[in-house]
Amino acid sequence: MATGWGSLLQDEQQLEELARQAVDRALAEGVLLRTSQAPSSSHVVSYAPFTLFPSPVPSALLEQAYAVQADFNLLVDAVSQNAVFLEQTLSSTIKRDSFTARLFDIHKQVLKEGIAQTVFLGLNRSDYMFQCNPDGTTALKQIEINTISASFGGLASRTPAVHRHVLSVLGKTKEAAKILSNNPSKGLAMGIAKAWELYGSANAQVLLIAQEKERNIFDQRAIENELLARNIHVIRRRFEDVSEKGSLDQDRRLFMDGQEVAVVYFRDGYMPGHYSLQNWEARLLLERSCAVKCPDIATQLAGTKKVQQELSRAGVLESLLPGQPEAVARLRATFAGLYSLDLGEEGDQAITKAIAAPSCFVLKPQREGGGNNLYGEEMVQALERLRDSEERASYILMEKIEPEPFRNCLLRPGSPARVIQCISELGIFGVYVREGKTLVMNKHVGHLLRTKAIEHADGGVAAGVAVLDNPYPV
């Protein structure tokens, strides 16, 4: 994929000067992270890593990703309301994966007591790579959908100015004008604001469940700031605070420090390490409440890799979205090969295929946050170890997407600018709000492009592998 940055990437002196300008602009725009040395403090911060140039993205695939986002929102919402589908889909997984089992347990408890929540809010991000086919064509293939704590909407709103700056310095005004405007944080905040409004209590607040050590705080603040501009107040608390100072009244309204909470927005709680016993209890308290959870526990489960794999089975989309064949076709077109590893013949065949062609597959456990998947020789060893064990049901197997690499220059605090072969992953942010059975909002609200060196199979920006980027439509 040609962008025309080729010759620019060869002039080392010019790159260094451009990098200095780009970094200063990124800092000025607020493309910031706290440092790994002081993740709880904003006294000294640095820029979030990013590419010096925007990276090529086929316009048709960008449009396709935007066009299918409302369908993915509908699908996630449908799965979250389908207790039978969730139970069937996750039954083998929860036997062997204690984290998913714990989430599922809360889901069951809430169902048993009766769901008090009447307004539902989804803020998700569907991620894709561009499969490069042998005939030279490219295809949009979904990597996963994130239904909890989907991040970088705030920083992605601020990176277009940085790339426009770089291209303007080079006198490339026509190219600079091609960088798309992007404001996911505004759209995400609009979803929270709508849910807050439908909850219908003027003095109620938004409770952001935060981690103590949060390098990505400026990303979250971008959303908080948008809400405050609408006069909606956000309080940041940890799970531990909820267990100490959170309570429900007899109508299961949620109170924190005596203040009513309309919306709970999770930026924590998506990994096993986020939960102590006390935190699980806090999560249950939040789920039992009538506050709008973003996401509620069923929607978090709808985002598991096991659900993703089951959705790709023949007939499943049709049964979840009846009477919507066009939406089904748009969704299915983005699916890569996905294979169950449940005990049985189907799983045995998948394992045999993956062991025979390791470079064509990825082995995925039910985890979020990057760095958990297995590839190549490591995958083969794991599959051989798991072959005869029920534990294999806690994984899925996925076709490995092979994008065409391109060259770009990655900028990270403390490292020299590096020109390397890269691949990108495109995310589209989706927002929906449902009141009872009525969908009152369903839209896409922006994008995120992340780029990484080809030698890294796995990992996102937070994991220190990928960097922020912008699509350069080609």
Q: Which residues bind ligand ADP (CB under 6 A)?
A: 127, 129, 143-144, 336, 362, 364, 367-370, 372-373, 398-401, 425, 458, 460
DSSP state of 164: H
> Which single residue is written with the structure tokens 């990124």?
26
CB of residue 79 vs ligand ADP: minimum separation in angstroms? 17
Residue 146 annotated among the catalytic residues of the structure: yes
**Catalytic residue (one of 164, 194, 434, 450):** 450
> Nearer to ligand ADP by C-beta: 120 or 152?
152
Which token pair is 363?
Answer: 């082995």
Q: How many CA atoms lie within 13 A of 134 on its CB side?
A: 0
Question: Does the annotation count 369 as an active-site position?
Answer: yes
Minimum distance from CB of 193 to ligand ADP (Å)? 27
Among this protein's residues, is 98 annotated catalytic?
Answer: no
The span from the CA of 173 to the CA of 163, in Å, is: 11
Tell the smallest beta-carbon distance from residue 57 to ligand ADP (Å). Answer: 15
Distances in whole angstroms, Cα of residue 234 to Cα of each of 55, 162, 182, 199, 297: 35, 29, 23, 15, 21
SS3 call for 247 = strand
> Can you tell me the distance from the alpha carbon of 116 to that of 135, in angstroms, rounded to the nearest whole number?
53
Give the DSSP letter of residue 374. B
Whether 364 is catalytic: yes
125 is catalytic: yes
Binding site for ATP, residues? 144, 305, 364-373, 375, 398-401, 425, 452, 458
Instruction: Name the DSSP class of 208.
Output: E
Catalytic residue among 30, 34, 55, 144: 144
Determine which helix (DSSP H) or strand (DSSP E) holds 331, and give its type and residue range: helix 325-332
Output 237 or 400, the one with its CB closest to ligand ADP: 400
CA distance 340 to 332: 17
Of 146, 279, 424, 442, which is the active-site residue? 146
Q: Which is nearer to ligand ADP, 369 or 376 (CB)?
A: 369
Decide if 305 is catalytic. Answer: yes
Q: Which residues are annotated as a binding site?
A: 125, 144, 146, 148-151, 214-216, 220, 267-270, 305, 364-373, 375, 398-401, 425, 450, 452, 458, 461-462
**182: annotated active-site residue:** no
Residue 307 phi/psi, 5-degree rounding, is -60, -45
Q: Would residue 151 show up in a list of annotated catalytic residues for this protein?
A: yes
The distance of closest approach from Cβ of residue 410 to ligand ADP in the complex, given in angstroms and rounded to an integer, is 15
Question: CB–CB of 360/420 below 8 Å?
Answer: no
| Candidates 25, 368, 424, 442; catalytic one | 368
237 is catalytic: no
State the catalytic residue, choosing from 369, 376, 459, 464. Answer: 369
To ligand ADP, the closest distance from the beta carbon of 140 in angstroms equals 13
Q: Which residues pair with 125 in a beta bridge?
A: 146, 429
The span from the CA of 106 to the CA of 295, in Å, is 13
Q: Which residues are catalytic?
A: 125, 144, 146, 151, 305, 364, 368-369, 450
